Chains A and B, each alone.
Chain A
Amino acid sequence: MMLLKAPRQILREIEREGGDIDRIQARLKRELARLRTQLEKELRNFLSDKRNVSKGDRLSLATAVKTVRELDRMLIDAGFPEFLDSRTEAFGELTRSSLKYFKNLGQAYKLSDVSLDAFDAYIRLTEATLVTEIQARLLSPIKTALFQSSFGSLSRDEALSYVSTIADNIPLSRVEQTLDWAFESFQRAVTAETADRLGLEIFQYVGPDDALTSPQCQAMLSVNTHGAEGMLFRDEITTDLHEDLVYDPLINGGHPNCRHKWVPVSTEYAESQGFRLQ
């Protein structure tokens, strides 16, 4: 009988220990969530407070991003990657807050070479194009990496390392390919954004024409609807240009890893190349 009682006691002990661990974990989660909320609140307050940029000081968005990145690392280390998805979603809002902050102070929308077009392109790309084209598990970390690389100080190697850590069950080559694609698309999206702002309607397809050039890129380089090779109105730049085009050519070129780009040009330049407006 005693022998039967001992295992029950042990089981009860284990059960109690397990309960304690669950409680500790739940408490840790609550504390981390509180910390995250607090940090984001502080960041937003900082972003919207004019006093923080007195005497010509500029908001260091890179510092803010670095702080958030530290929090990301902490969440991963603590074994709570599920928090990361909801947390990184806040970047869209953070970007908008930053823009508002810059606008309030009448400051240039830039950090180094970053422009308003770049911010707008980031928002459009991450909220539209990437959402439909990148697999769900990679989306959040890629959005974060793109933001931190473009507006912060994260290097491309660090970005790859960051994304692959989070998406650890996805092959590295796949992660790298997707990340490269996001970076390439971002530069084209910035250009498209500039064209929108300037109201430029004519684009020229530029890039190498050699043995490696894909049939769809060759088709776009040589398309001649208006008297000038590789030049089209924006509305005409669609996947209808070639059967192998899958993604919007203005943002993606001919395909992932494409060396080409649609560049907006002035009417004067287009006409000098033989482009007929009518």
Chain B
Amino acid sequence: MAFTFRIEAKTLKLDEGQIRKGLDFARIGEEELRSTEARIRKELEKGRNVDGARLSPYSSSYLRAIDAGLVKGKSPGHRTPNLSATGEMLNAMQTKPLKDGAQIFFGGQHKANKGLKARRTLNPDGTIKRVPKKGVRLKKPVGSSRAVSNAEIAAANEAIGREFFGYGAEDLKRIEKRLDKEIDKILQSIVKTE
């Protein structure tokens, strides 16, 4: 579960060598992915994704459990689907540099069977209740010591209609502005040196 930030220097219609030399894609990418992380978190608190679309609501049984005070980290009456009960999954978002960009991903394992939410996603046969659509299939036999990663939990949420992990239009606008600024710097340095 990760998405990446890559730039094709050719599309900038400038000398690729100069651009590549001057633009640190990995650094810019990581910085902007961290900013995107902050925006993802801020929007999630309103139950929305980065484009402002509402996330699929929690199921009625889960809402009943929240209202009954049975879900750790959820206050009764707080029904917004913010994907944050213990904060473990969202706090595990990390970034790393790539050769020509950067990647954001979910690090670490999720504590098994933590809270009502984790338990209720398991079927009696040991599979996850809802099978993600996009090739992500979670199988965790009940009682198994195999760890479920935070990435798997995030992927499962996405697959059931809570698509929260990605850029929004606002992020792309900000990144474009940032690149303009960085290219300006390079052009200025070329003018100065020439």
Query: Which one of A187, A198, A206 lies within 8 Å of B30 (CB-CB)?
Result: A198
**Closest CB in chain B relative to A150 CB, distance in Å:** 7
Chain B interface, number of residues (Cβ within 8 angstroms): 47
> In the docked arrangement, what's the CA distance between A155 and B113, Å?
12
Interface string of A187-215 (1 = CB under 8 A from B): 11011001100101000101111111000
**Closest CB in chain B relative to A169 CB, distance in Å:** 24
Residues of chain A within 8 A (CB-CB) of B82 are 208
Contact A206 B96, CB 8 Å, known A198-B27, A198-B30, A268-B181: no
Chain B interface mostly? mixed
Asked whether A183 is an interface residue with its Cβ less than 8 Å from the other chain, the reply is yes
> For residue A116, which residue of chain B has the nearest CB?
B96
* Docked-complex contact B112 and A204, CB < 8 angstroms: no
> For residue A194, which residue of chain B has the nearest CB?
B95
* Docked-complex contact B87 and A259, CB < 8 angstroms: yes
Asked whether A89 is an interface residue with its Cβ less than 8 Å from the other chain, the reply is no
Asked whether A61 is an interface residue with its Cβ less than 8 Å from the other chain, the reply is no
- Chain B residues numbered 122-151 whose CB sits less than 8 Å from any CB in chain A: 145-147, 151
**Closest CB in chain B relative to A277 CB, distance in Å:** 14
Residues of chain A within 8 A (CB-CB) of B34 are 194-195, 198, 200, 263-266
Asked whether B56 is an interface residue with its Cβ less than 8 Å from the other chain, the reply is no
Contact A268 B75, CB 8 Å, known A158-B145, A200-B31: no
Interface string of B63-84 (1 = CB under 8 A from A): 0000000000111111000101
Asked whether A272 is an interface residue with its Cβ less than 8 Å from the other chain, the reply is yes
* Docked-complex contact B147 and A156, CB < 8 angstroms: yes
Residues of chain A within 8 A (CB-CB) of B84 are 207-208, 259
> For residue B146, which residue of chain A has the nearest CB?
A155
Chain A interface, number of residues (Cβ within 8 angstroms): 45
Asked whether B92 is an interface residue with its Cβ less than 8 Å from the other chain, the reply is yes
> In the docked arrangement, what's the CA distance between A265 and B178, Å?
13
* Docked-complex contact B37 and A263, CB < 8 angstroms: yes
Query: Which one of A190, A198, A200, A260 lies within 8 Å of B94 (CB-CB)?
Result: A190
Q: How many A-B pairs with Cβ below 8 Å?
A: 129
Of the stretches B6-14, B38-46, B158-166, B183-191, the one at the interface is: B38-46
* Docked-complex contact A194 and B112, CB < 8 angstroms: no
> In the docked arrangement, what's the CA distance between A212 and B78, Å?
10
**Closest CB in chain A relative to B106 CB, distance in Å:** 8
Asked whether A113 is an interface residue with its Cβ less than 8 Å from the other chain, the reply is yes
Query: Which one of B2, B38, B74, B147 lies within 8 Å of A265 (CB-CB)?
Result: B38
- Chain A residues numbered 198-257 whose CB sits less than 8 Å from any CB in chain B: 198, 200, 204, 206-212, 253, 257
Task: Show 16 residue pairs from A and B whose CB-CB distance is below 8 angstroms, ordered by the A residue.
Answer: A149-B147, A157-B145, A158-B145, A187-B108, A190-B107, A194-B34, A198-B31, A207-B84, A208-B45, A253-B91, A259-B86, A259-B91, A261-B90, A264-B34, A266-B31, A268-B35
Given A114-B107, A118-B107, A208-B45; 5 other pairs, CB 8 A cutoff:
A155-B109, A157-B112, A191-B94, A210-B75, A259-B85
- Of all A-B residue pairs in the complex, the 9 with the closest CB atoms, nearest first, are A259-B87, A269-B35, A206-B41, A155-B147, A211-B75, A266-B31, A263-B38, A265-B35, A212-B75
